[in-house]
């Protein structure tokens, strides 16, 4: 059961928009950014929601590694493709503009693709692929990120947690959406283990000296020091359980994010200069949109996708498990549970909200202050 | 070291073409099929090479579940998309035609996509994506297959081993190519363990009763009986090591293979009728081609992709490992080793070759007969 107090969606949305505006983000852009962050909370992906509002977005605007005004430059445009330079502005704003363009292009020609360079954190990749799914289209997206994953047979943090994300429209109330890192877990999950006082299961990280470490606080220190790195999906450093597949998909995302846009990659994305100072992240993202109407038809696609999901859920359960889910289903169930309640916020976020409100004299009073 | 005798590439190619022709495959189609099978052997992917020539292709032509003459019907075509019906002909012939069309379309408009229904085994997915890479383009392909993988929290064989395959052009002598099943391993790997008298590592399969089985011969029996299923990449039946990601990608491939083409899926792909007789497989495939020239340019793409691969290989090795590979590299090294020698064939394949030659009175003498 949720023990954190809820903040109504409208209140949180309005507050975030006002804070973004206070830091120089134009109102229309602030609306996009707040919606992306809140969509994470609607889905229960709390590593990417209002937990990140202050530490990732506001703090980076303050330290100069994220520009509040997003100057989108269209570097190249064809009837099916777009290359953008986000010039270190809000990655969410550039991505939103990109997906609007690609959905329109795919609606005309069946297929569209885009890439953005010199961008910043774009929130959950599933937000962008779901923009396609809401238009009845297939969405594919990925982004590079500061280096965290070690290659198979390696121990050095080389690849971002690089999500390879797909949304596929169905005839149900929600799209099939697999939105996940190509590592076993993201750093955020280990932070969660550390906060909860839990050990990290063996095998989620690889260490320089080959030792097995499960102490979550220790792992976080080692990740920063570079003496540990995240293992790719399937595990590492060896290939016994085929971690070379997760490593391969992480590399696909690294290449597509940088090579289609002509942008940066790997160690250049650390956010830290050689002198140890914060510097621009220069991330790259890629997006593909496919309209099933240009294939066997949208109705056929959605019915088949729905039939496959329903058959999977109805299949035989493993001993000890009473339900099988399809990707996107748990997130939809979280939304149904939170829809009328709002977003649950923990103590750290409450303090951040109060501090931001007071600093900017914003006219809000939060339910948790009662 | 290789202990099996080698058969020169040209000899094996010519022999396969003549056998295909003896079973009614038109010469041009036979050339395509032989090249796809031999490409697997060039890469060392022996589960899909000449080992499969007789048991998968010839035997299926004989039992009527694979038609030697491929009647390709173009169900739908737009400037960027193609939907085909292969009418139970050779999946490799239909896929070859598809990729030729898509590479041409992507060359004009930057993006192209295709789907095939009522198809049959199309060989290695990497053959098709590499057709794009050889043209300087990005290739993506997948196919469904007879149900083998259990969903997370489940134990029933529901999804094919469903490869999700990418080829990305580089500035090196070979493309980056990740061509792999979305299960931890394919059935073929467990057959290999059984033949070698080895146990299957725990965790690669899930069982109906929750027991752990490592006896490879026993696992193969259980897979046929439906009392075991393959675990998705990341493991199962639980989600401790994030097997829901492999399950999610397997489902993406299942949906795209059937829903874009309007074809069959899951249990309908078993190749066995309700009465237990062999029946048509009715597989579905999908293909996407993206031309980097429509983005930041082909040279930029290839240079960045190559730089990323080189940096990965140069990164710190784990204790006990002295080399890091990138996807497609081991396969290229196998080709260099086999180029002047030919394809190594084991005893079972030798016997099949002799029997096929004698049956059709073909004028061949093989090196292993000396």
CB interface of A with B, residues 263-282, below 8 Å? 265-267
Per-residue confidence (pLDDT) for residue B46, from 0 to 100: 83
Residue B1 has pLDDT above 90, yes or no: no
- Contact yes or no for B308 and A255 at CB 8 A: yes
B186 contacts chain A (CB < 8 A): no
Give the nearest chain B residue to A178 (CA atoms).
Answer: B248
Token pair, residue B331, equals 């396969």
Per-residue confidence (pLDDT) for residue A2, from 0 to 100: 83
Q: How many inter-chain contacts (A to B, CB under 8 Å) are there?
A: 306
The backbone torsions φ and ψ at residue A229, rounded to the nearest 5 degrees and listed phi first, read -140, 160
CA distance B180 to chain A (A): 7
Chain B positions touching A113 (Cβ under 8 A) are: 110-111, 290, 294-295
Antiparallel, parallel or unpaired: β B111-119 and B81-85: parallel
Determine the Cα angle at B301 with ends B297 and B303, to 5°.
Answer: 120
Parse chain A into domains and list their residue ranges.
1-63+340-370, 69-179+240-328, 185-230
User: Is A202 exposed, middle or buried (CB count within 10 Å of its CB: 0-12, 13-18, 19+)?
Assistant: exposed
Residue B183 has pLDDT above 80, yes or no: yes
Per-residue confidence (pLDDT) for residue A370, from 0 to 100: 78
B129 contacts chain A (CB < 8 A): no
Q: Distances from the Cα of A72 to the Cαs of A97, A241, B132, in angstroms?
A: 9, 43, 31
- Contact yes or no for A323 and B238 at CB 8 A: no
* B237 upstream amide cis, omega within 30 of 0: yes
What is the value of pTM for the model shown? 0.98
Chain B positions touching A244 (Cβ under 8 A) are: 180, 325, 327
CA distance B327 to chain A (A): 6
CATH number of the domain located at residue range(s) B1-63+340-370 in this protein: 1.10.1530.10
Chain A positions touching B153 (Cβ under 8 A) are: 317-318, 321, 323-325
Chain B positions touching A168 (Cβ under 8 A) are: 252, 255-256, 259
Do B313 and B325 touch, CB atoms closer than 8 A? yes
Q: Distances from the Cα of A172 to the Cαs of A56, A139, A300, B262, in angstroms?
A: 34, 17, 13, 18
Chain A positions touching B300 (Cβ under 8 A) are: 259, 262
Average pLDDT taken over every residue of chain B: 96
Do B319 and A209 touch, CB atoms closer than 8 A? yes
Per-residue confidence (pLDDT) for residue A35, from 0 to 100: 98
B363 contacts chain A (CB < 8 A): no
Q: Distances from the Cα of B95 to the Cαs of A8, A226, B26, B265, B357, in angstroms?
A: 53, 45, 16, 18, 28
Buried b (16+ CB within 10 A) or exposed e, A208-234: beeeebeebeebbebbeeebbbbbbbb
The backbone torsions φ and ψ at residue A320, rounded to the nearest 5 degrees and listed phi first, read 95, -5
Q: Which of B158, B256, B316 sits opposite A155 (nearest CB)?
A: B316
- Contact yes or no for A168 and B318 at CB 8 A: no
pLDDT-derived band at B283 (thresholds 50, 70, 90) equals: very high
- Contact yes or no for B294 and A80 at CB 8 A: yes
pLDDT in tens, chain A (370 residues): 788 999 999 999 999 999 999 999 999 999 999 999 999 999 999 888 999 999 999 999 999 999 999 999 999 999 999 999 999 999 999 999 999 999 999 999 999 999 999 999 999 999 999 999 999 999 999 999 999 999 999 999 999 999 999 999 999 999 999 999 999 999 888 988 998 899 999 999 999 999 999 999 999 999 989 999 999 999 999 999 999 999 999 999 999 999 999 999 999 999 999 899 999 999 999 999 999 999 999 999 999 999 999 999 999 999 999 999 999 999 999 999 999 999 999 999 999 999 999 999 999 999 999 7
CA distance B27 to chain A (A): 31
Do B174 and B135 touch, CB atoms closer than 8 A? no
HEC string of chain A?
CCCCCEECHHHHHHHHHHHHHHCCCCHHHHHHHHHHHHHHHHHCCHHHCHHHHHHHHHHHHHHCCCCCCCCCEEEEECCCEEEEECCCCCHHHHHHHHHHHHHHHHHHHCEEEEEEEEECCCCCHHHHHHHHHHCCCEEEEEECCCCCECCCCECCCCECCCCEEEEECCCCCCCEEECCCCECCCHHHHHHHHHCCCCCCCCCEEECCCCCCCCHHHHHHHHHHCCEEECECCCCCCCCCCHHHHHHHHHHHHHHHHHCCCCCCHHHHCCECCCCCECCCCEEEEEEEECHHHCCCHHHHHHHHHHHHHHHHCCCECCCCCCCCCCCHHHHHHHHHHCCCCEECCHHHHHHHHHHHHHCCCCCCCHHHC
Which residue in this structure is represented by tokens 């890479």? B133
- Contact yes or no for A112 and B111 at CB 8 A: yes
Do B32 and B99 touch, CB atoms closer than 8 A? no
B343 contacts chain A (CB < 8 A): no
Model confidence over A28-79: pLDDT tens digits?
Answer: 999 999 999 999 999 999 888 999 999 999 999 999 999 999 999 999 999 9
Token pair, residue B41, equals 């052997």
Which fold is adopted by the domain A69-179+240-328? Ribosomal Protein S8; Chain: A, domain 1 (3.30.1370)
Model confidence over B6-62: pLDDT tens digits?
Answer: 999 999 999 999 999 999 999 999 999 999 999 999 999 988 899 999 999 999 999
Q: Which of B154, B180, B259 sits opposite A318 (nearest CB)?
A: B154
Do B264 and B92 touch, CB atoms closer than 8 A? no
Per-residue confidence (pLDDT) for residue A192, from 0 to 100: 84
Antiparallel, parallel or unpaired: β B176-178 and A164-168: unpaired
Domain A185-230: give its CATH superfamily.
Answer: Hypothetical oxidoreductase yiak; domain 3 (3.30.60.50)
Name the nearest CA neighbour of B349 among B33, B56, B109: B56
Model confidence over B289-299: pLDDT tens digits?
Answer: 999 999 999 99
* CA gap B211, B233 in Å, rounded: 19
Model confidence over B113-161: pLDDT tens digits?
Answer: 999 999 999 999 999 999 999 999 999 999 999 999 999 999 999 999 9
Which fold is adopted by the domain B73-184+231-338? Ribosomal Protein S8; Chain: A, domain 1 (3.30.1370)
Q: Which of B151, B296, B324 sits opposite A262 (nearest CB)?
A: B296
- Contact yes or no for A233 and B246 at CB 8 A: yes
Chain A positions touching B288 (Cβ under 8 A) are: 111, 288, 290
Give the nearest chain B residue to A204 (CA atoms).
Answer: B241
Q: Distances from the Cα of B211 to the Cαs of B24, B191, B205, B278, in angstroms?
A: 47, 20, 10, 31
pLDDT-derived band at B251 (thresholds 50, 70, 90) equals: very high
A78 contacts chain B (CB < 8 A): yes
- Contact yes or no for A234 and B234 at CB 8 A: yes
């Amino acid at each position: 059961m949720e023990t954190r107090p809820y903040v109504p969606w409208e209140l949180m949305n309005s507050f975030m928009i006002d804070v973004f505006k206070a830091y120089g983000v134009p109102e229309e852009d602030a609306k996009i950014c707040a919606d992306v962050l809140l969509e994470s909370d609607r889905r229960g992906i709390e590593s990417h929601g209002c937990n990140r509002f202050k530490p990732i977005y506001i703090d980076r605007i303050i330290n100069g590694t994220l520009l509040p005004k997003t100057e989108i430059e269209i570097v190249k445009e064809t009837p099916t493709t777009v290359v953008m330079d986000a010039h270190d502005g809000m990655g969410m704003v550039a991505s939103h503009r990109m997906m609007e363009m690609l959905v329109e292009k795919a609606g005309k020609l069946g297929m569209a693709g885009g890439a953005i360079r010199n961008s910043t954190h774009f929130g959950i990749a599933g937000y962008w692929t779901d923009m396609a799914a809401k238009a009845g289209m297939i969405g594919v997206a990925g982004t590079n990120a500061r280096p965290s994953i070690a290659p198979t047979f390696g121990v050095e943090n080389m690849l971002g947690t690089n999500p390879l994300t797909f949304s596929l429209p169905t005839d149900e109330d929600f799209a099939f959406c697999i939105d996940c890192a190509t590592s076993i877990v993201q750093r955020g999950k280990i932070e969660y283990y550390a906060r909860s006082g839990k050990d990290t299961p063996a095998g989620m990280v690889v260490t320089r000296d080959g030792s097995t470490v499960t102490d979550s606080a220790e792992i976080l220190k080692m990740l920063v020091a570079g003496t540990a790195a995240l293992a790719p999906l399937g595990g590492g450093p060896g290939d016994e359980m085929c971690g070379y597949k997760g490593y391969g998909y992480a590399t696909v995302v690294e290449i597509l994010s940088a090579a289609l846009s002509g942008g940066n990659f790997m160690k250049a994305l650390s956010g830290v200069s050689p002198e140890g100072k914060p510097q621009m992240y220069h991330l790259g993202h890629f997006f593909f949109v496919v309209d099933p109407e240009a294939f066997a038809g949208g109705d056929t696609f959605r019915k088949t996708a729905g039939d496959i999901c329903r058959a999977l859920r109805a299949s035989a359960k493993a001993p000890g498990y009473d339900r099988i889910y399809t990707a996107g289903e748990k997130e939809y169930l979280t939304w149904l549970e939170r829809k009328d309640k709002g977003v649950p916020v923990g103590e750290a976020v409450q303090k951040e909200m109060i501090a931001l409100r007071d600093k900017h004299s914003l006219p809000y009073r939060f339910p948790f202050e009662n």
